[in-house]
Amino acid sequence: MIAHGKDIKIFSGTSNRPLAEAICKEVGVQLGNAEVGAFSDGENFVSIYETVRGSDVFVVQSTCAPVNDNLMEMLIMIDAFKRASAGRITAVMPYFGYARQDRKTKPRDPISAKLVANLITRAGADRVLTMDLHANQIQGFFDIPVDNLLGSPIFTQYFHDRFGEQDDVMVVSPDVGSVARARAFAQKLGMPLAIVDKRRQKANSSEVMNIIGDVRDKRVILLDDMVDTGGSLCGAAKALVEIGGAKSVTACASHGVLSGPAVQRIQDSVLEECIFLDTVPPKPDVKCDKIKYLSVAHMFAEAIERIYEEVSVSKLFV
């Protein structure tokens, strides 16, 4: 590994090419010339059509659905660049799949997030650039530098422009585990904080038990790091209105995974609006007038430029 490549080259897998193109536009470079696909038997392949010798290579790939295909694509691309003598390889993962499998919850469970970290490192990545890891300790699973960007500044700007200094708006954490994230977000906006206390009965389902804080007649911002099936989010929004007496509920989350019935649940829910970052691309065949996306291209572009120039990335974490 060298400390600094001779130039920036950005390549993309198939998972989130529009974001990769937007990042390239912000940085002022062309998207790297590569072909990524699959053979008839399902094996992934990669062909790189330009030299990368000595370059600072950034591989943009969200490991969202289909998770295993996208992960394998990224590993093969990293291996290809390593064998082509790239100066330094950064895995740019706006959404890090397997992040929820970060610990053993019962005997004989795997820690799949650690396994994925090992695979990325062994494939040849020199560092990782990601956003809003589900669990911050995943950074420690890697033996290479990890920059975990925060999506909250993008939401902070959006809601500051939308609500300004109005005193009937407050931030709500959808569960106890997200309190630290929601508290920091509320402090940036200068708003009070409430918490939805829930008990999860099984995977992808939850039962709302209580609301800690007074949300009556308030316009609520419900903050989470990701929305998968949407059950927890929509259940929390319903409780805030029906039990807490909230005037309205707007949700925001960094990663809109939106699997299964999520989109329909959001459409049928009491939510006024649900805002995601484009770390996971919008589903092209699914439309919902309550869902809105904000771009992370500028933030990732600035991080890439700072990594290349060997200057601090920490200003992007505040």
Question: Is 28 among the domain residues?
Answer: yes
Q: Are residues 81 and 103 in the same domain?
A: yes
Q: What is the pLDDT of residues 16-28, one digit of tens each?
A: 999 999 999 999 9
Calpha distance 48→76 (Å, rounded):
11
Question: Is 15 among the domain residues?
Answer: yes
Q: Are residues 110 and 86 in the same domain?
A: yes
Q: Are residues 130 and 188 in the same domain?
A: no
Q: Are residues 81 and 179 in the same domain?
A: no
Question: Is 30 among the domain residues?
Answer: yes
Q: What is the pLDDT of residues 125-157, one digit of tens each?
A: 999 999 999 988 999 999 999 999 999 999 999
Question: Is 13 among the domain residues?
Answer: yes
Q: Residue count of the chain, please give it.
A: 318
Q: What is the pLDDT of residues 69-110, one digit of tens each?
A: 999 999 999 999 999 999 999 999 999 999 999 999 899 999
Range from 75-79, 273-277, 285-289, 309-313 carrying the lowest mean pLDDT: 285-289
pLDDT band for 115, please (50, 70, 90 cuts).
very high
pLDDT, mean of residues 189-206: 76
Q: Tokens in use for 196? A: 């939805």
Q: Are residues 32 and 136 in the same domain?
A: yes
Domain that holds residue 245: 152-294
Instruction: Give the rounded distance of the alpha carbon of 154 from its chain centre.
Output: 13
Strand-pair category, 44-48 with 34-38: antiparallel
- The pTM of the full predicted model, rounded to 2 decimals, is 0.93
Residues carrying an active site annotation: 198
Report how far apart, in Å, the C-alpha atoms of 53 and of each of 56, 82, 87 are: 9, 9, 6
Q: Are residues 97 and 127 in the same domain?
A: yes
Q: For position 171, which CATH number holds?
A: 3.40.50.2020
pLDDT at 256: 95
State the total domains in the chain: 2
pLDDT band for 232, please (50, 70, 90 cuts).
confident
Q: Are residues 200 and 278 in the same domain?
A: yes
Q: In what order do the strands lie in the sheet with 193-202?
A: 205-212, 193-202, 169-173, 219-227, 248-256, 273-277, 291-294
